[in-house]
């Protein structure tokens, strides 16, 4: 005989609940059938009475007896009603006439008890869930493990993910209210030898906030990759990248723009100086040949010879130097020059206005008056004193917040928890770092969002 698999407690509860629902549905169907039959019988009896009245106006013996019995019953009922009315006081009778008892509808009569029981069960489940959320918050603040090695992952993973999402939403709302923000980012290696990048946002509302918004796996250390990573994180949080201000400490925008202008002018001057480029190329080729001859073991790549009947490009330039000059040298120089001019010429007036704010030129400006065109472009960007104060306070001189987040990361992702996924690591980092926001997260919001992840949880707890 095949051994039957024993049913678990959850499955037994589902079967029991399904049977109860089927019983209730059968009762409702019987009541609906009963009401429909009663209404049809009453209609039939009324029709029969009408026909009998039209046939004969005199009642027979049986009808007279039924009429007399009903009259006696009505008289007894009238006496009892009269006695109850006489026994009741006048104020109580008036109150009953003014406030009659409300009549319950069919739905409340059929499912009233069940609805109240379900509401009580939902209340109990939410109270249990609220205690679980409080415990997870306390453990998350301390950065401790949520379970042992032998326990399995349970609902707490969903709760931690939901709390991290709510923390991110609160931080994003703070940034949008601030109107401007600055970014700090730094990388470090964790226990599993992965480069982890911590992204900190600094903004000012009523107070200065430095918030950890993400901990991501940094696959490359190039500036372009870090910039794309930062842009992706900001777009996921629906934060406008155009409100990111403040240059890095030590960076001089004026000097950088002057270097760009100098590079553009130098390229324009040597744009058609092909002879100088040719001489420099010849010197490089001679130097490279000497180095190659000094090498003892050097594999030389043999150049493929062109056969007499092989097809070639039509209308070659007669000189190889002229061919290189027209097709390579001039094209590269013109492309670079046009690209630099197109990218940086639009901000030339703004950068020249910044030059008048350079402290190194203050001594020169004391003896000379500013020209009439000075600070015209920058005056269009003037803000109020409060916005200027926020702009100054948004500047970050140190990356202390990043280093602090790295310390928390080493505490969370230790050797016993080195296999944490990136999503869980970021959730644990946010819960442990942003303790102030974690305290302000409402338990009802957490429970409602957790219930949305499963149809069963939504049916049992909402």
pLDDT in tens, 6-35: 666 777 778 887 888 788 778 777 777 766
Q: Are 435 and 398 in a shared domain?
A: yes
Q: Has residue 22 been placed in a domain? A: no
| Local structure of residue 351 (DSSP, 8 states) | H
Q: Are 352 and 406 in a shared domain?
A: no
Helix (H, G, I), strand (E, B) or coil at 358: coil
Q: Are 211 and 345 in a shared domain?
A: no
Could you give the CA distance from residue 405 to residue 147 in angstroms, rounded to a whole number? 23
Q: Are 362 and 443 in a shared domain?
A: no
Could you give the CA distance from residue 366 to residue 175 in angstroms, rounded to a whole number? 41
Measured in degrees and rounded to the nearest 5, phi and psi for residue 189 equal -95, 135
pLDDT value of position 89: 47
Q: Tell me the HSE value of 17 on the side-chain side, using a 13 A CA sphere.
A: 10
The token duo for 307 is: 């056969």
Interval 102-117 mean pLDDT:
66
pLDDT value of position 383: 61
CB within 8 Å of 403: residues ≥ 6 apart: 186
* 80 pLDDT higher than 50: no
Strands (E) located in 121-166: none
Q: pLDDT tens across 134-190, in order?
A: 888 888 888 777 776 666 666 678 888 888 899 999 999 988 888 888 888 888 888
Please answer whether residues 441 and 421 qualify as being in contact, where contact means their C-beta atoms are separated by less than 8 angstroms: no
Q: Are 228 and 353 in a shared domain?
A: no
pLDDT value of position 202: 86
Longest dimension (CA), the chain: 143
User: Which of 456, 446, 447, 455 has its CA nearest to residue 123?
Assistant: 447
Range of the domain at 405: 152-246+394-461
Sheet holding 195-204, edge to edge: 181-189, 195-204, 208-217
**48 or 417, higher pLDDT:** 417
Q: What is the pTM for the complete model shown?
A: 0.49
Q: Are 372 and 448 in a shared domain?
A: no
Q: Has residue 50 been placed in a domain? A: no
User: Which of 144, 217, 187 has its CA nearest to residue 414?
Assistant: 144
pLDDT value of position 224: 82
User: Which of 33, 210, 164, 54 has its CA nearest to residue 449?
Assistant: 164
Burial of 204 per CB tally in 10 Å (0-12, 13-18, 19+): buried
| Local structure of residue 327 (DSSP, 8 states) | I
Q: Are 260 and 176 in a shared domain?
A: no
Q: Has residue 255 been placed in a domain? A: yes
């Amino acid at each position: 005989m095949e051994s039957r698999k024993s049913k678990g407690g959850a499955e037994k509860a589902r079967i029991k609940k399904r049977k109860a629902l089927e019983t209730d549905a059968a009762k409702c169907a019987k009541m609906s059938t009963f009401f429909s039959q009663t209404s049809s019988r009453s209609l039939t009896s009324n029709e029969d009475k009408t026909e009998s009245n039209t046939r004969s106006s005199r009642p027979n013996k049986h009808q007279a007896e039924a009429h007399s019995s009903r009259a006696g019953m009505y008289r007894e009922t009238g006496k009892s009603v009269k006695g109850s009315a006489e026994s009741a006081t006048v104020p109580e009778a008036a109150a009953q006439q003014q406030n009659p008892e409300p009549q319950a509808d069919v739905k409340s009569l059929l499912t009233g008890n069940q609805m109240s029981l379900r509401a009580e069960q939902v209340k109990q489940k939410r109270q249990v869930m609220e205690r679980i959320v409080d415990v997870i918050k306390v453990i998350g603040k301390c950065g401790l493990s949520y379970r042992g090695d032998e326990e399995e992952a349970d609902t707490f993973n969903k709760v931690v993910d939901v709390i991290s999402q709510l923390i991110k939403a609160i931080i994003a709302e703070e940034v949008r209210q601030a109107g401007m923000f600055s970014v700090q980012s730094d990388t470090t290696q964790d226990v599993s030898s992965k480069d982890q990048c911590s992204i900190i946002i600094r903004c000012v509302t009523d107070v200065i906030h430095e918030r950890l918004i993400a901990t991501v796996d940094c696959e490359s250390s190039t500036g372009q990759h870090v910039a794309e990573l930062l842009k992706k994180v900001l777009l996921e949080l629906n934060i406008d990248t155009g409100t990111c201000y403040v240059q890095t400490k030590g960076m001089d925008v004026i000097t950088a723009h002057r270097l760009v202008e100098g590079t553009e002018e130098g390229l324009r001057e040597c744009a058609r100086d092909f002879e100088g480029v040719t001489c420099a190329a010849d010197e490089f080729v001679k130097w490279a040949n000497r180095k190659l001859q000094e090498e003892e073991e050097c594999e030389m790549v043999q150049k493929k010879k062109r056969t007499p009947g092989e097809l070639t490009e039509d209308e070659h330039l007669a000189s190889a130097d002229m061919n290189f000059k027209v097709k390579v040298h001039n094209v590269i120089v013109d492309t670079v020059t046009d690209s630099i001019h197109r990218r940086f010429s639009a901000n030339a007036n703004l950068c020249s206005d910044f030059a008048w704010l350079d402290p190194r030129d203050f001594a020169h400006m004391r003896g000379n008056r500013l020209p009439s065109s000075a600070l015209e472009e920058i005056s269009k960007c003037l803000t109020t004193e409060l916005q200027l104060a926020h702009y100054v306070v948004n500047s970050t001189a140190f990356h202390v917040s990043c280093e602090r987040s790295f310390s928390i990361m080493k505490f969370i992702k230790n050797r016993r928890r080195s296999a944490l996924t990136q999503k869980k690591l970021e959730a644990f980092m946010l819960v442990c770092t942003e303790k102030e926001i974690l305290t302000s997260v409402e338990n009802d919001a957490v429970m409602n969002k957790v219930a949305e992840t499963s149809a069963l949880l939504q049916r049992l707890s909402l």
